[in-house]
């Protein structure tokens, strides 16, 4: 559900809108969304104070987006903190400048969010219910959305003002289509046979203990509300099921279909001529066989050989005029000439396949399942609000939650950030389990899965620990050998590089070291002839001068080294296919300029703003 909002939000400041929308609703029942209570602020922007809980929510949003991937918690938390500050600086600026977005625009945006929709339509009751659960007045919510949209409006005003000149476009393609000539020698990875000494193993172990850690693990208990579980408890009678059937009768109805044939008269000699031909054919069908006439008169070569047969027709398959004409015809009747984008048609209904409605009894089992699920979905929303509220009011235990909802507290065995079993198979569950709040001993926020809602808490935690040396000794020996091999390979490559820079002949150097020289001419930037590391090194290298080539080394993935001698750079030109892409290139270059300009504007605003960091973020 939250993912759908992310997809719906537009612009760079979709993240801001997500913070204003997704976080409050992901944390149903949490009060004082922006309030800090008696807690000391960690930063201020003007008169706006930020508290640790604000940072925790921003970090949770970042972490949710990174669920399932390994990341540095401190780096992500710092990014979230900087984003909070930047967004508030921008918000204060646009408000001070008097930028506005009309209430109608904000409401239209809210109505477009799938979070507040049912069957693709804005659900006013759902909207009010979710705001009530958040204890947030409609006016306040609309105001928050309006502010986010103003920020987006300002950003677009900056980014969309940028443009690319023809010279910049030409220069882009000149660089993009460069061709380069070079020679290169590959030094294969050396082979080290002797084992590492005890001293080398001990030293490597001490310097790289971070590479030999057990993963941190957590064991949890949790309560869940599932659609399947709630559906089992739904009671109903036959009348309710019959009403449900009547509401959805269209799903069990097959509409009448018609088998049709046609003759097509293309407007190749003008519409008037096509119409005359169609009218002439119409006169003949009263006394001649339609199918035989279609074989000789129709311009539709694919159907003419079958007497113009188009098969079974469903309303909406053809153009509106064609559809309308078909639905008016009786069995065996031929239409008047019907105009379409192809020309004129004569249409005949050759068979009627009557519509059908599946009787109640034949679909009762399916109706029962769908009815119970529909009722369970409504119940899930109601109980989800209660789950969030009771869990928040009792953050140190799940028992009050289980009692209030009539569910059991379940347990899940140990799992890591990257893998788990049971409920911990879900990325979002693992991400939440290792969140700062849960590790402090509190109940988690609500976790929305595809068909259920979960709240969890920690039962036990095993921090990451360094593996004993004896356990990783073999692994370390291989690492030391690998490092020695790479160092020796690199040393030889550097020796050859220096000799080339001093003017030595590349062929002589290759022969001296029992290596081979390979040459390439006209290599393009996107060529796949060579490993990408060599291609990248070649095109990162500076242009050679008239009397001095450029010498660089490319590190290959297998540990070998390629010493490149770049001898020639030929600037590219815009090709015919490039000309077709010119407008796209102009748009992308303009966008890049615009984003760079906006980053500079935002940086300038931050320098002028009154920003104070008051405490270290936890």
* Contact of 13 with 152, CB cutoff 8 Å: yes
pLDDT in tens, 381-409: 888 888 989 998 999 999 999 999 999 99
Dist. CA 134–CA 394, nearest whole Å = 17
pLDDT at 9: 34
Q: Determine, yes or no, domain membership for 540.
A: yes
Choosing from 462, 494, 516, the residue where a domain stops is 462
Same domain for 453 and 375, yes or no, is yes
Dist. CA 434–CA 418, nearest whole Å = 11
Is the confidence at residue 80, as pLDDT, over 80? yes
Q: Which domain holds residue 27?
A: 2-161+609-613
pLDDT in tens, 272-283: 999 999 999 999
Q: Determine, yes or no, domain membership for 600.
A: no
Band (249; pLDDT cuts 50, 70, 90):
confident
pLDDT at 134: 66
Same domain for 340 and 202, yes or no, is no
Same domain for 36 and 116, yes or no, is yes
* Angle, in degrees to the nearest 10, between helices 364-393 and 124-133: 30
Is the confidence at residue 78, as pLDDT, over 80? yes
Q: Determine, yes or no, domain membership for 306.
A: yes
Average pLDDT, the chain: 86
Same domain for 376 and 499, yes or no, is no
Q: Which helix (H) or strand (E) holds 374?
A: helix 364-393
At which residue do the structure tokens 């001529």 appear? Answer: 273
pLDDT at 59: 82
pLDDT in tens, 527-564: 999 999 999 999 999 999 888 999 999 999 999 999 99
pLDDT in tens, 197-207: 999 999 999 99
Domain tally, the chain? 4
Is the confidence at residue 362, as pLDDT, over 50? yes
Find the CATH number of the domain harbouring 306. Answer: 3.10.50.40
pLDDT at 616: 60
Q: Which of 20-24, 341-345, 391-395, 502-506 has the lowest mean pLDDT?
A: 20-24
At which residue do the structure tokens 């502010």 appear? Answer: 147
* 453-463 average pLDDT score: 95
Percent of the chain scoring above 90 in pLDDT: 48
Q: Determine, yes or no, domain membership for 588.
A: no
Q: Which residues, in sequence order, are CB contacts of 220 under 8 Å at separation 6+?
A: 411, 412, 424, 433, 456, 457, 458, 459
Choosing from 401, 436, 462, the residue where a domain stops is 462
pLDDT at 64: 67
pLDDT in tens, 481-532: 999 999 999 999 999 999 999 999 999 999 999 999 999 999 999 899 999 9
Same domain for 197 and 261, yes or no, is no
- Helices and strands, number each (H, E), in the chain: 24, 19
Reading the block at residue 558, the tokens are 């297998």
Choosing from 446, 462, 478, the residue where a domain stops is 462
pLDDT at 210: 86
Q: Which of 383-387, 455-459, 472-476, 496-500 has the lowest mean pLDDT?
A: 383-387
Q: 3-state SS string over 168-202?
A: HHHHHHHHHCCEEEEEEEEECCCCCCCCCCHHHHH
Same domain for 206 and 221, yes or no, is no
Q: Determine, yes or no, domain membership for 603.
A: no
Same domain for 7 and 147, yes or no, is yes
* 146-173 average pLDDT score: 89
Beta bridge mates, 50: 43
Of 41, 39, 83, the C-alpha closest to 58 is 83
Is the confidence at residue 613, as pLDDT, over 60? yes
Is the confidence at residue 363, as pLDDT, over 70? yes
Same domain for 477 and 454, yes or no, is no
Same domain for 382 and 332, yes or no, is no
Find the CATH number of the domain harbouring 68. Answer: 1.10.4030.10
Same domain for 289 and 311, yes or no, is yes
Q: What angle do CA 89, 90, 92 make, to 5 degrees?
A: 70
pLDDT in tens, 286-333: 899 999 999 999 999 889 999 999 888 776 677 889 988 998 999 999
CA atoms within 13 A on the CB side of 141: 21
pTM over 0.85: no
pLDDT at 184: 97
Q: Length of the chain in residues, anyone?
A: 618
Same domain for 23 and 140, yes or no, is yes
Band (76; pLDDT cuts 50, 70, 90):
confident
pLDDT in tens, 84-119: 899 999 999 998 988 888 878 888 888 888 878 888
Q: Determine, yes or no, domain membership for 245.
A: no
Dist. CA 273–CA 324, nearest whole Å = 24
Same domain for 225 and 182, yes or no, is no
């Amino acid at each position: 559900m939250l993912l759908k909002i992310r997809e719906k939000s537009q612009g760079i400041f979709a993240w801001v809108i997500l913070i204003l929308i997704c976080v409050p609703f992901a944390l149903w029942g949490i009060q004082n969304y922006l309030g800090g209570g008696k807690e000391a602020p960690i930063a201020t922007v003007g008169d706006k104070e930020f508290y640790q809980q604000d940072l925790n929510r921003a970090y949770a949003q970042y972490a949710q987006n990174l669920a399932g991937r390994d990341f540095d918690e401190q780096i992500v938390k710092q990014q979230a903190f900087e984003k909070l500050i930047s967004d508030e600086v921008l918000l204060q600026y646009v408000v001070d400048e008097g930028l506005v977005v009309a209430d109608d625009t904000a409401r239209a945006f809210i109505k477009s969010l799938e979070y507040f929709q049912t069957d693709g339509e804005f659900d006013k009751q759902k909207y009010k219910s979710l705001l009530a659960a958040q204890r947030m007045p409609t006016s306040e919510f609309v105001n928050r959305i309006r502010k986010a949209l103003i920020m987006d409006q300002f950003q677009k005003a900056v980014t969309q003002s940028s443009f690319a000149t023809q010279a910049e476009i030409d220069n882009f393609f000149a660089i993009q289509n460069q061709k380069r000539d070079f020679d290169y020698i590959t030094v294969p990875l050396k082979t080290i046979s002797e084992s590492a000494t005890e001293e080398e193993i001990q030293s490597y172990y001490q310097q790289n203990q971070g590479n030999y850690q057990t993963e941190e693990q957590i064991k949890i208990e949790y309560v869940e509300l599932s659609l399947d579980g709630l559906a089992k408890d739904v009671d109903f009678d036959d009348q309710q099921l019959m009403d449900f059937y009547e509401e959805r009768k269209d799903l069990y109805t097959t509409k009448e279909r018609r088998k049709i044939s046609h003759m097509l008269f293309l407007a190749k000699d003008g519409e008037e001529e096509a119409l005359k031909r169609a009218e002439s054919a119409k006169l003949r069908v009263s006394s001649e066989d339609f199918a035989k006439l279609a074989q000789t008169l129709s311009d539709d070569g694919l159907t003419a050989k079958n007497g113009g047969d188009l098969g079974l027709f469903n309303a909406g398959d053809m153009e509106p005029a064609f559809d309308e004409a078909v639905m008016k015809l009786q069995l065996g009747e031929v239409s008047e000439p019907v105009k379409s984008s192809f020309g004129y048609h004569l249409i005949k209904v050759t068979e009627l396949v009557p519509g059908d409605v599946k009787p109640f009894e034949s679909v009762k089992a399916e109706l029962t399942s769908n009815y119970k699920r529909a009722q369970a979905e409504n119940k899930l929303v109601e109980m989800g609000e209660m789950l969030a509220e009771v869990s928040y009011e009792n953050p140190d235990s799940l028992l009050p939650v289980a009692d209030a909802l009539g569910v059991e507290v379940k347990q899940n065995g140990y799992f890591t950030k990257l893998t788990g079993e049971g409920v911990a198979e879900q990325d979002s569950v693992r991400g939440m389990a290792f969140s700062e709040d849960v590790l402090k001993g509190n109940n988690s926020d609500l976790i929305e899965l595809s068909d259920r809602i979960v709240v969890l808490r920690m039962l036990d935690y095993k921090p990451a620990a360094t593996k004993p040396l004896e356990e990783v000794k073999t692994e370390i020996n291989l690492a030391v050998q690998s490092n020695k091999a790479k160092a020796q390979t690199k040393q030889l490559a550097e020796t050859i590089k220096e000799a080339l820079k001093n003017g030595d002949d590349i062929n002589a150097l290759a022969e001296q070291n029992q290596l081979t020289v390979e040459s390439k001419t006209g290599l393009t930037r996107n060529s796949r002839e060579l490993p990408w590391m060599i291609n990248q090194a070649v095109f990162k290298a500076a242009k050679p001068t008239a009397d001095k080539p450029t010498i660089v080394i490319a590190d290959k993935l297998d540990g070998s080294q390629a010493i490149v001698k770049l001898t020639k750079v030929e600037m590219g030109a815009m090709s015919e296919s490039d000309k077709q892409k010119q407008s796209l290139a102009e748009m992308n270059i303009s966008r890049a300029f615009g984003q760079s300009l906006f980053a500079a504007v935002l940086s300038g605003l931050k320098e002028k703003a009154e920003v104070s960091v008051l405490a270290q973020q936890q």
